[in-house]
Structure formats: structure tokens, C-alpha cells
Structure 1
Amino acid sequence: MTKLHLAEMDEIAARHPEIFHRSFWSRFRVPLIVLGAVLYGVYCWWFFAVGAVLANANWSLAGTYLADWVSYEVRPEIRMDGHGTMQIVYPRFSPLGDNPNPDWLVAERETVTRTIETPAAARPAAPKSTTSFMAPGAALGGSAAAATGAPATETRSEEVVIRAEIAMGRSTHIEVLPGEVTVQHGGESLRATMSDGKVVPETEPLPRWAVQKRPGEKIILSFGMAGWAEIDATEVSIRKRFLGWANFIFDTRSPFFGRPAADVFALIAWGERIDPQRSNLSLAWNNILYNSEWQHLDVWTKLLQTIVMAFVGTVLATLVAFPLAFVAARNITRNRFFNQLTKRFFDFQRSVDMLIWALFFTRAFGPGPLAGISAIFFTDTGTLGKLYSEALENIDDKQREGVKSVGAPSVAVQRFGVLPQVLPVFASQALYFWESNTRSATIIGAVGAGGIGLKLWEAMRTNSDWENVAYMVVLILIVVFIFDGISNALRSRLIGRSHH
């Protein structure tokens, strides 16, 4: 290896000073970029108050919402009736059906006889009085109570609850007596009494899983994935959580509800007809499609609408953007006015977001798939037109000049000199937009443009049907995964690569 002398190094430095004397930017470029990124991150943290947002976030509520996606609740209410007894009431559409009797809620019952005052409106009207000539002014034929105005009474026997015990989990139990509740959870206990319209905890301080905002108000009990409960002055509300989606196949009105899978298969295969007018298989399929809690047929129909919206909107946008791109390309159409006019038209269409177009067309056409198709069509026409025109402007002119040299007309020049270069790119971009629009159609559906997006938004607005939200999200993900695979396979074939 030859060593350079000092004089030779000075000579090289004199001829190429930029090598030995780099500028300030060249020497400190990387540290300055890193410092700028750090300062920008700090600024964003301060400007958007990220720390305060994270500190004030209700993470337990977020966890509850997440649990609601993959579970359901059974919601019995134990009500105090004011006579030292209780009643257990379930919601009208309980996941357990019309006659719930879960094994995790044990109730002690007894029959009591009560004397109840009958309201005057409920008593039979007394017959018209007749006047006796023997005693003027005396009324005959009416009861003594009617004559004196005394209230009538009625004796009734009814079954009431005197004690209830709820097993929320292995270490969580709630015992409810008239006017008294005792809770055991995680090795800790809480006792509270209800009287004079107030809830008074007798355990101080309250365990970490119990919250009472003000003295005398209800106490909220949180048991994690097992569920939660509320102790109010007149009732105890239980929310016991179970993993899974309740009644996903058959709802509570179906004759197949609550039957084991083996019994259902036996009924469908060789059992006697439940409905004389149709087979058990037809009845079961009808019950699945028209499940009142999950609405499978309606959800699948809306999902198909979303797919059709994405497909039709993308196809129309491709058909319109394709010829307009040739007008916008400067090397194809040698007219600056038409080039700029078409490009500004593309800018106008794509500068307005698809969601805004959806709101506009929903107002114009009313809610439905037509508004969604129009929104996708307008937005994608502008975006695809820009991409197609740029692809045309970057083609290799040698192929086009070769076709021109043989005297081919202009149409033939575009057909054989231009299209073979850009057609795979055009088709690949159209396929990508078709896949992307399947997701976008869900979002614009939420503003009234039809499809599964609107149904998804309706389920989210209830703030209680999160399992239905999860169901629709899973369906959307499956469709997107399938279309992504199809799109990737077709694009790989179009650009000449084998699909792995």
C-alpha cells in the first residue's frame, strides 16, 4: 500500500476542498434531524396534552367495553317489595328465555298470605238503592262497606323470596336479604343496609372494588370479568358476565332454543315435524336467518351491499378515469388547456374526502347504496385519473415511436405502443382500490350511505350491543382478508410474478 506524503495530501486538498472541509450541514445533518424529531415529539405531547389524557383515561371502562365484545350479561334484579320480602325480575329479552332459573342464583321462597286493600275502582258497583216505605231514606241492597264508605279488603296467597344468594365467581358471592346485602369478593367482605331510601355501608373503608360517590347513594361493585352489581335503596341489580355470544344460533323464541346440539341434529335428521307446514331443517334455517337478537339475514344482506358498493363504485371510477387519463397526460394529448382542465377536475374530485361526498349524496339521493356508490365513484375517479395520467407520462416513448414509424394511425399507436406498458399498472391499481374501498364502504355506510356500516353504527349507538359490533367487525375482517388475497394474486399475475 502506497503512503501519501504530506505535500501530496495538501495538493489533493487544494484541488478537492469539499472532501476535507465539509459544510456544517454535512457534518451535523443526522444529529440535527434526530434533535428536530425529538423536539417535535415533545411539542406534540404538550400541544395535545397527551400526558393528561392518559392520566385521566378510564381504563377500567375501556376494559369493560373490550369484555363486552366477547361476552354477554345476564341481568336479574332483586327488588324489595316493602313487606319484608323480595321479588326476582329479569329483563323482557333475557338471554335465558321466558322462564329463567339459573343454577348460580339460589332463592329461598315461601308462601305468604296477605290482606290487601282493594281500591274503590276495582270493586264491583253496588246496585241502585231502593227506598223502603217503612223507613224513609234507608238504602237497601248495598253492602255495608259501600254504605259506610269503608275500604274493602282481599286476602291473597303468593310466593315471595326471603333470601337470595348469587355466585358471581369462585371467590365472589352476594347474599341478599330484605333490606340487607352481604358481599364476599377476593377475601374481602362488604355489608350494607337499605332503609329510608338510603344505602348505608357498614364496612369502612369500602373495599377497592366498591364505589359510593356520595353517602346514601347506590354502591357500585366491580368484579372484573365476572361482572358487576349495584346496590340501590330499593333493589340489587346483578350483571353476571359469561364468555361467548348468547343465542347466536337460535333465539329464545325458537323451538330449538336451549336444546343440546345432539337433540337439534336428531330433530332435523329424523325427528317429528315441529311445524306441520315445513320440515325441521327448513324451520331451523328460518330460525337462524331471522334470529331476533343477531339478525343474521339482515347483517349478511348489508354486508353484500357493502361489497357491491365497493365493486360498482371502483369499476365506474376505472371506466371514467381510463380515457380521461389520456387527455390529462401531456405526452399523449398535446394541448395544455385540456391537460390542465382534466387535471384540475381530478384534483377537485379527490380533494373532497369520500366521507364528505357520502354526506352530499345521501342528502341528494337519500340513504342507501346509491349514495355510497356515488361517493366511491367520485373520489376514485380523481385519484385513479391522477395515477393513470402520471403512469402515461412516464412510459418509454421508444415503443410508441416504433409503432408510429410503420405508419400506424393514432388509435393503433395508443393500442400497441402505450397500452401494453401501462395496462398491468392500471389493473393493479384498480384492484388495490377495489380492496381498499371494501373498507371505506363500511365507514361511509355509517353516515347513511347503506351497507353494513350503518348497521354497525346503530349497534354502537346503543352502547350495550357490543357483541353484535364484534360480530360485524369479524365479518368485515373476513371479507377484507379474502379480497386482499384475491387482489394480491391477480396483481402478481398481471405484473408477471408467480404468486406464493
Structure 2
Amino acid sequence: MTKLHPAEMDAIASRHPAVFQRSVWSRFRMPLLIAATLLYSLYCWWFFAIGDVLYRANWSIAGTYLADWVSYEVRPEIEMDPDGAMHISYPRFDPLGPNPDPDWVTLERATMTRTIETPSAQTAKKDDGFSFMAPGAATSGSPETGTTEEAAAGSETVTQDVVTRAEIALNATDRVVVTPGEATVYRGAEELRARIADGAVIALQDTLPGWAVQRHPGEKITVSFGLSGWLEIDTDEVAVRRRFLGWENFLFDAHSPFFGRSAGEVLGLIAWGGRLDPDRSNLSLAWSNILYNAEWQHLDVWTKLLQTIVMAFVGTLFAMVVAFPLSFIAARNITRNRVVNQICKRFFDFQRSVDMLIWALFFTRAFGPGPLAGMSAIFFTDTGTLGKLYSEALENIDDKQREGVKSVGAPPVAVQRFGVLPQVAPLFASQALYFWESNTRSATIIGAVGAGGIGLKLWEAMRTNSDWENVAYMVLLILMVVFVFDGISNALRSRLMGQKPH
């Protein structure tokens, strides 16, 4: 390699100054871009008040929701009567079944003679006849006592077995002890005592620990136990929410004869056990109990998921079928008519400019809630998008192949069939497959506005604000379907493009 003399370098530089002298933009382009990015980020931080939003965010609630996705709660409630008697109750649809008796709840009972108020026999009577008396007029009875057929409630002395002390363990170290008029919470080495009297909750210490909250003096106290659950000490009850990892009664609900049995017992009953239902085998009974599980509704969820899959497939298929011929009309090198080209392209713009969710709302009002509205929304949106993509692909084809077919005297249809279609068919199919995969996710979103499918089921579960484990179940099903369809779509696209599947 010959080294240039400095004089020769100067001569070249004088003839081509742009090569050796970088412009200001070339020298400061990268620092300016970095500075502009930082300034824009700071502007967004200020405009959207991101710092304030992060500061005010209730991260504990977000953590509770995430915990509810993978756990369930058992909710014993201890009610207190003014005379010192206590009662423990569970919700109607408790995961422990109709007669819960968990080993982490310890009760002490005693026999108590109590005076309870009861309606009089006359009050219990129903007025099922016609009366000519004026409303509010006095009826027959003793004027001294004022006894009427709407007599006041009386009282009755009874002897009952009542709870006098309840101890509920939240985990190995945390528990709450409830006695008449008082609740004591033990959280590790710390302790919180609260008295319940005269319609108020009074904390018996000056400063509450960080895991307990009382917004105003006398109001309820909320105690958090982290992933183990939480409880509320109110003016007339102590409500406990103990959390357990897992999904409760996922296979069999509390009304199933298989409820509460171990996996070995269930398999034994199915394989060789005596019939639990004389009209069907144990296998058929178990399968029916799983499908019609009242808490998880497996059959309904799977049916709605299938609706979503069909909705996405049919909507994409119809869009592809309609967009295919229209794209030939919109392509300028295929249809040599500018007016027709523009009309077709503006039609595509109209369809794809309206979001799929808006189309779903429109068709839900037109056809009513159901998969038809969802299919129509997918069909309309994807017809415009696929039509635009197809027409642009046609405008970028190699005209040599088409001219070669035309040169042998082939008719126009044959020219398109043999000169154009082989160039774009793999691309058309690849784009249609991608949209089918994408619409499987989109169908879930539009289902939430009434377009049918699992999206509506998912939205119903989220609205209850207590069935987050059901939400997690449906989200996992959707993820599995998306993963499967993504693999199928990638394999088919690779085959169409003549590549090996990844």
C-alpha cells in the first residue's frame, strides 16, 4: 500500500472538502439525539404526573390482587351480641363445604341462658283477607294494653350453646383471640388489643403497629398478615380472611360426592368402587361433576373459549376472502383506473380507521350480544387492513413475470393467475395467518363488550372483584391457546415461504 505525500493529501482535500470536513450535524448528531430523548422523557414525566401517580399508587391492593390469582380465602366471621354471646359463621359458598370445621379455628363453648326477642303469635299472622277498616284505624283489643293484631314483638328466655372464646390461627406465628367485647391480635412478637364497646372499636395502645390501620378513632381496625390474609375488627364482629395457596375445589365443588376425598380415593372409586349414583358409573359421575363444577364452570369456560377461537378464525377467513379480490382492484399496476383505485383504497381506509372495539360495540347493538357481533367486527376491521397490505404487495411485484405470461397470448385471468399470484400467494397466506393468530387475542378484548366468547366471561369474573383465581384460570387458557396458535402459524408460514420451521 503506497503512502500518500502530505502535499497530495492537501490537494485531494482541496478538491473534495466534504470528504475530510464533517458537517456540524454529523459531528453533533448523536449528542443532540440523546439530549432530545432526555428532554422528551422529562416532559412526559411532568405532563403525565408519573411521579405523583407512582407515589399515590396503592401497591398493597395490587399485591393482594396478584395473591388472589394463585390463592383462595376461607372467611370465618365471629359475631358478637350485646349480652356477651358469640357466634361463628362462614359464607354460603364456602370452599370448605356446607359444614366447615377447620383445625386452625379453636372454639370454647358454654351454655348460656339468654333473653331473645321474638315476634308475637299475632304479629306472625298474615292479613290475607279484605278489610273495610280505614288504614291505621284501631282494631279490637284491650285499650289498657294497646294489644292489636299488629302487636309489638315479645321476648323469650332460652338456653343456648354459644361461643365464649375463639382463637383463629393465620399461620404458624400469627393469630387472633376473640372474647366477648375484646379482640387480641398476635403478629410475631407484637401484640394489638382492641375493645369493642358502645358501638366503637377502641385500640388499647397509643400507637398502632405498622400492620394495623384505623382511619378514625372508634372505626374498624384492619390488620394485614401479608400473604397469610387479613382481618377486620368491627363494632359487632371480627371478620377473618385466611388465604391458602392454590385453587380451591378446582375439580369437584362442595356438592359433589367426590368433594374432600384424596386423589387415591377418587381413583379407587372410579376404578373399582361401588356406584355412588345408581343411574351412572362413577367415571361418568366424576366427569359430569368436573364439567358442571358450580365454582369454576369448566364446561361454560371451555365453550366460551371455543367460541373465541371460532370467532377469530371465521372473521379472519371472511376478511381474507373479501380483501383478496378487492386488492387487485386497488392495485394501480393491476387495475389501470385511478378513480376505481382511489374508491377501493378509501373503502379500506374507512374500515380500518375504525377500531375493532368500536365495530364490536356497533354490531353488538345491531345483532345483540354474541359471537356474530365479534365475527363481524373482526371481518370489517381486517378486510380494510388486509386489503391495504395485499394491494401494496401487488404494486411491488416484478412485472417481468407478468409480461412473460402476457407475451404468449394468455388471457387477463391467466396473466393474474400465473404471472402475479405465484409471487404474492406466500405473502398473502403469511399475513392472513398472522392476523388469525392476532385476532385470537383481539377476540378476547372485544368479547368483554358483549361480543361473546371468553372475553365476556373474563370481564364478569373481574367485575365481582373476588374471583381473581377464576380470572387467572381463564388467562392461562388464553395464553395456552395463543402459544399453540403461534406455533401453528409460524410452522405454516415457514412452509409457505419455503423455509425450515424454527
Alignment correspondent of 2:45: 45
What is the identity, as a one-letter code, of the residue corresponding to 1:71? Answer: S
Query: How has the CA–CA distance of structure 1 residues 153 and 477 changed in structure 2, closer, same or farther, with 3 Å as cutoff?
Result: closer
Q: Who is 1:237 aligned against?
A: 239
Question: 1:333 — aligned with what?
Answer: 335
TM-score normalised to the size of structure 1?
Answer: 0.93
Specify the code of the residue in structure 1 equivalent to 2:186: Q
- CA change 1:118–1:366 in 2 (3 A) is closer
Say whether residues 1:256 and 2:258 are aligned partners: yes
Partner of 2:346: 344
Displacement after TM superposition at 1:121 (Å):
3.1
Bigger shift: residues 373-382 or 4-13: 4-13
**For residue 109 of structure 2, what is the aligned residue in structure 1?**
109
Query: Which residue number in structure 2 is paired with residue 409 of structure 1?
Result: 411
- 3-state SS of paired residue (2:170): strand
Match of 1:135 in 2: none
Q: Do the aligned partners of 2:76 and 2:90 also contact (CA within 8 Å) in 1?
A: yes
Structure 1 residues 115 and 35, CA, compared in 2 at 3 Å: closer, same or farther? closer
Residues in 2 aligned to 1:19 and 1:377: alpha-carbon distance in whole angstroms: 55
User: Could you tell me which amino acid in structure 2 is paired with residue 310 of structure 1?
Assistant: A
Indicate if the aligned counterparts of 2:120 and 2:152 stay in contact, CA closer than 8 A.
no
Tell me, in whole angstroms, the C-alpha distance in 2 between the residues paired with 1:469 and 1:151: 47
Structure 1 residue 384: Cα displacement: 0.4
Instruction: Give the equivalent residue in structure 1 for 2:34.
Output: 34
Q: Deviations over 1:477-498 (max 9, x none)?
A: 0000000000000000000011
For residue 394 of structure 1, report the CA deviation from its aligned partner.
0.8
- 1:204 corresponds to: 206
CA gap of 1:420–1:191, structure 2 versus 1, over 3 A, is same
Distance, in Å, in 2 between the alignment partners of 1:485 and 1:234 is 57
Correspondence for 2:311: 309
Counterparts of 1:96-495 in structure 2, within 5 Å, are: 96-116=96-116, 118-121=118-121, 154-495=156-497
Following the alignment from structure 2 to structure 1, what is the Cα–Cα distance between the partners of residues 367 and 282?
A: 43
Task: Write the deviation string for residues 145-184 of structure 1: whole angstroms up to 9, x where unpaired.
Answer: 99xx999764422210000001101110110000011111
Match of 1:169, SS state, is coil
Q: Partner residue of 2:142?
A: none
1:260 Cα shift?
Answer: 1.4
* Mapped partners of 2:117, 2:320: distance in 1: 79
Pairwise CA distance, 1:401: 1.2
Which residue in the other structure is 2:54 paired with?
A: 54
The corresponding residue for 1:95 is 95
Measured in 2, the distance between the counterparts of 1:124 and 1:410 equals: 91
Amino acid at match of 2:346: R
For 1:168 and 1:449, locate their aligned partners in 2 and report how far apart those are by CA, in whole Å.
43
Q: CA deviation at 1:321?
A: 0.4
Q: What TM-score, normalized to structure 2?
A: 0.93
Residue identity opposite 1:74 in structure 2 = V
How far is 1:19 from its partner?
Answer: 1.1
What are structure 1's unaligned runs of at least 5 residues? Answer: 126-144
Instruction: Say which SS state the counterpart of residue 163 (structure 1) adopts.
Output: strand
SS in 2 for 1:262: helix
Question: Residues 17 and 267 of structure 1: is their aligned pair in 2 closer, same or farther, counting only changes over 3 Å?
Answer: same
Distance 1:111 1:30, change over 3 A: same
Q: CA deviation at 1:420?
A: 0.7
1:21 aligns with 2:35: no
What SS does the corresponding residue of 1:84 show, helix, strand or coil? coil
1:139 aligned residue? none
Greater shift, 260-269 or 298-307, is seen at 260-269
Listed as ranges, the gaps of 5+ residues in structure 2 are 126-146
Q: Report the equivalent of 1:78.
A: 78
Aligned-partner SS, 1:157: strand
Q: Flag the 1:259–1:426 CA change in 2: closer, same or farther, 3 A.
A: same
In 2, Cα distance between the equivalents of 1:7 and 1:155?
A: 122
Quick one: structure 1 residues 404 and 152, their matched pair in 2 at CA, closer, same or farther if it must change by over 3 Å? closer
> Residue 60 of structure 2 aligns to a residue in which SS?
helix
Q: Give the conservation status (yes or no) of the 8 Å contact 2:119–2:152.
A: no
Matching residue of 1:138: none
CA deviation string 1:230-255 (max 9, x = no partner):
00111000000000111110111111
Preserved contact between residue 301 and residue 457 of structure 2 (Cα < 8 Å): yes
For the residues of structure 1 that align with 2:123 and 2:112, how far apart are their CA atoms? 23
Two-structure CA RMSD over aligned residues (Å) = 1.9
Query: What is the match of residue 143 of structure 2?
Result: none
Deviation at 1:122, TM superposition (A): 6.2
In the TM superposition, residue 204 of structure 1 has moved relative to its aligned partner by 2.3
Question: For residues 264 and 181 of structure 1, what CA distance do their matches in structure 2 show?
Answer: 41
Q: Aligned AA for 1:53?
A: V
Q: Per the alignment, do residues 39 and 124 of structure 1 end up closer, same or farther by CA in structure 2, a change over 3 Å counting?
A: closer
Deviations 1:45-89 (A, max 9, x none): 110001101111111110000001000000110010222120001
Secondary structure at the residue paired with 1:183? strand
> How many angstroms apart in 2 are the aligned matches of 1:214 and 1:406?
92
Distance in 2 (alpha carbons) for counterparts of 1:334 and 1:118: 92
- Which digits, 9 at most, give the CA deviation of each residue in 1:107-135, with x for residues without a partner? 0112223354654336999xxxxxxxxxx
1:402/1:173 Cα in 2 relative to 1: closer, same or farther (>3 Å)? same
Q: SS where residue 207 of structure 2 aligns?
A: coil
Q: 332-341 or 475-484, which moves further after superposition?
A: 332-341
Partner letter of residue 83 of structure 1?
Answer: D
- Distance (whole Å) between structure 2 residues aligned to residue 286 and residue 50 of structure 1: 51
Q: CA deviation at 1:193?
A: 0.5
Task: String of CA shifts for 1:405-445, please: whole Å, max 9, x gaps.
Answer: 11111111111111111000000000000000000000000
Query: Is the 8 Å Cα contact of residues 123 and 153 (structure 2) preserved in structure 1?
Result: no
